[in-house]
Amino acid sequence: MSKAMWGGRFSKSTDEMINEFQASINFDKRMYHEDIRGSIAHARMLAKCGILTEEDRDKIVKGLEDIEQQIEDGKFDFSVDLEDIHMNIEKRLTEAIGEAGGRLHTARSRNDQVALDTHMYIRRQVTEVQKEIENLQQALVETAEKYSDVIMPGYTHLQRAQPILFAHHLLAYFSMLSRDFARFEGVYRRADIMPLGAGALAGTTFPIDRAYVASQLHFEQIYGNSLDAVSDRDYIMEFLSAASILMVHLSRLSEETILWCSREFHFIELDDAHCTGSSMMPQKKNPDVSELVRGKTGRVIGHLMAMLTTVKGLPLAYNKDLQEDKEGIFDAIDTVKFSLAVYAQLIRGMKVRREVMKKAVTEDFSNATDLADYLVKKGMPFRKAHAVSGAAVHQCIEQGKYLEDMSLKEFQVLSPLFESDIKEAIRPETCVKNRNSYGGTSYEQVSLQLKAAKELLASEKGMAEAAREKQI
């Protein structure tokens, strides 16, 4: 007969290699807190419903709390032979308190138990990811304020397009992160559904009180279908989707950071603490943090693809395939949290070369649109104004100069509508100031964006703190 805790119907033990192959304890042990808290709530519910004596309940609760302390003190030896976090804890509990430990599993299955643990774990991790998002957003706001008057070239197609405020550029990433924060709010809601009580797949014959367990564990909702409860992994796929989009945002920021700190751009300098050198070339200062974040983005996206592929062909209800949800989500969580944390440091530590950026916008043709707009305001149709501006650019290229170098006489040859105020109209500072439409790059609009960003940060912190207070 098998010695496994589920081995009653087996005539021999599982092959040792199979034990190692199917065991999840090496990665799911990080959910020990959720497993123990879920078991304590389950034991209290069983006693409340008269399924378990109060004496057994108290022994179980005390035993589980002792085990949790042992794990946190590093005094708990996990066994691959016991497969997972649930069996490891239950075995130790039974050894410690006797038969009462064996009664804990009444009216539940590992199918709904692991689902419960994972729901609780994802809820907690969502709040931690959101905290790191807030930290990076705060770093972006601080840096945008610090360099609020710096003008840089804005790009399309990686070609200089129009002058913008550097703060405006940073706040674009703030907005992306705000959407990421909101996406994780949705993940939290889908994780905030309690599956315990679904049993293996069909519920239980015992008169349990699922609402009581949900209140003990601070769940807002309870699964209304037992099959769905044990097989649902939507919230994990949603987490991985939100994490992938977040990492794509960080990857885009990484690409720009890598470009900006190159000698070709030289717009910023990263702190020495956030870079590495070369073992051969002594002059090198490599933006490794940005490169690693850009690279790790593919890793997180890969976990999303793996999870989608794992679930796509599964029949209801629980299948062992679902064990494959853990390693990917755990790694994605670690990767996202670490990437956000290091990027907040990098943003706070970088120096902006304002004079280099200023020179860049005075030595290009990013004010050509403003030249056209000037003529439109004088009554010329935009398409004609566009052509005149294009001709001015062509003339400057031919003569090796820029629009600001043209004389009034040269402008008036192209159009009599040009007057002496044209030079002021195409200065980078004027170009920026005049883009005062809502959400634009003007000093006034960016000031409003900074104010709105601070208000949104305060709101996000309030929501995240409320969610964190619910964790047990």
Share in percent of the chain as helix, strand, coil (round to 5) = 70, 5, 25
Residue 21 is predicted with a pLDDT of 64
Question: In 5-139, where do the E strands start and end?
Answer: none
Q: Are 464 and 130 in contact (CB under 8 A)?
A: yes
What angle, rounded to 10 degrees, do the helices at 288-311 and 234-260 form? 160
Domain ranges of the chain: 14-106, 111-132+165-208+216-351+448-470, 365-435
User: Both tokens of residue 330?
Assistant: 């755990």
Tokens 């649902």 map to which residue? 232
Enumerate residues 6+ apart whose C-beta is below 8 A from 225.
none
Q: Are 108 and 197 in contact (CB under 8 A)?
A: yes
Residue 15 is predicted with a pLDDT of 62
Q: Are 113 and 140 in contact (CB under 8 A)?
A: no
> How would residue 205 be classed by pLDDT, with cut points 50, 70 and 90?
very high
Considering the domain 365-435 in this protein, what is its CATH number? 1.10.40.30
- 11: pLDDT strictly greater than 60: no
Q: CA 450, 452, 453, 455 torsion: positive or negative? A: positive
| Distance of alpha carbon 180 from alpha carbon 242, whole angstroms | 7
Q: Are 71 and 13 in contact (CB under 8 A)?
A: no
Give the residue from 86, 70, 69 showing the smallest Cα distance to 29: 86
Catalytic residue, from 157, 279, 407, 437: name it.
157
Residue 166 is predicted with a pLDDT of 98
List pLDDT tens digits, range 89-126: 999 999 999 999 999 999 999 999 999 999 999 999 99
| Distance of alpha carbon 47 from alpha carbon 467, whole angstroms | 29
- 12: pLDDT strictly greater than 60: no
Q: CA 199, 200, 201, 206 torsion: positive or negative? A: negative
Respond yes or no: is residue 157 known to be catalytic: yes
Catalytic residue, from 2, 79, 215, 278: name it.
278
Q: What is the mean pLDDT of the chain?
A: 94
SS3 category, 94 = helix
DSSP for 375-437, written as a single string: HHHTT--HHHHHHHHHHHHHHHHHHT--GGGS-HHHHHHH-TT--TTHHHHTSHHHHHHH--S
Give the pLDDT mean for 334-358.
97
Q: Please, which residues bridge with residue 276 across strands?
A: 286
Task: End-to-end CA distance of the chain: give it in Å, rounded.
Answer: 40
Task: Give backbone dihedrals phi and psi of 162, rounded to 5 degrees, phi first.
Answer: -145, 150
Considering the domain 14-106 in this protein, what is its CATH number? 1.10.275.10
Return the H-helix or E-strand segment holding 333.
helix 325-349
User: Both tokens of residue 456?
Assistant: 């949104």
| Distance of alpha carbon 123 from alpha carbon 464, whole angstroms | 11
Give the residue from 328, 340, 326 showing the smallest Cα distance to 293: 340
| Distance of alpha carbon 334 from alpha carbon 442, whole angstroms | 38
Q: Are 151 and 163 in contact (CB under 8 A)?
A: yes
- 368: pLDDT strictly greater than 90: yes
| Distance of alpha carbon 406 from alpha carbon 395, whole angstroms | 9
Residue 278 is predicted with a pLDDT of 76
List pLDDT tens digits, range 251-309: 999 999 999 999 999 999 999 888 888 778 878 889 999 999 999 999 999 999 999 99
Encode burial over 233-269: b for 16+ CB neighbours within 10 A, e otherwise.
bebbbbbbbbbbbbbbbbbebbebbbbbbeeebebbb
User: Both tokens of residue 150?
Assistant: 């710096």
Give the residue from 86, 94, 87 showing the smallest Cα distance to 116: 86
The pairing of strands 268-269 and 351-352 is antiparallel
List pLDDT tens digits, range 172-186: 999 999 999 999 999
Respond yes or no: is residue 249 known to be catalytic: no
List pLDDT tens digits, range 407-444: 999 999 999 999 999 999 999 999 999 999 999 999 99
What's the one-letter identity of residue 143? Answer: T
- 10: pLDDT strictly greater than 70: no
Residue 173 is predicted with a pLDDT of 98
List pLDDT tens digits, range 17-32: 666 666 788 889 999 9
Considering the domain 111-132+165-208+216-351+448-470 in this protein, what is its CATH number? 1.20.200.10
Other beta carbons within 10 angstroms of residue 327's beta carbon come to 15
Residue 20 is predicted with a pLDDT of 65
Q: Are 140 and 170 in contact (CB under 8 A)?
A: yes
State how far the alpha carbon of 278 is from the alpha carbons of 262, 275, 284, 349, 422, in Å: 15, 10, 6, 21, 49
| Distance of alpha carbon 328 from alpha carbon 333, whole angstroms | 9
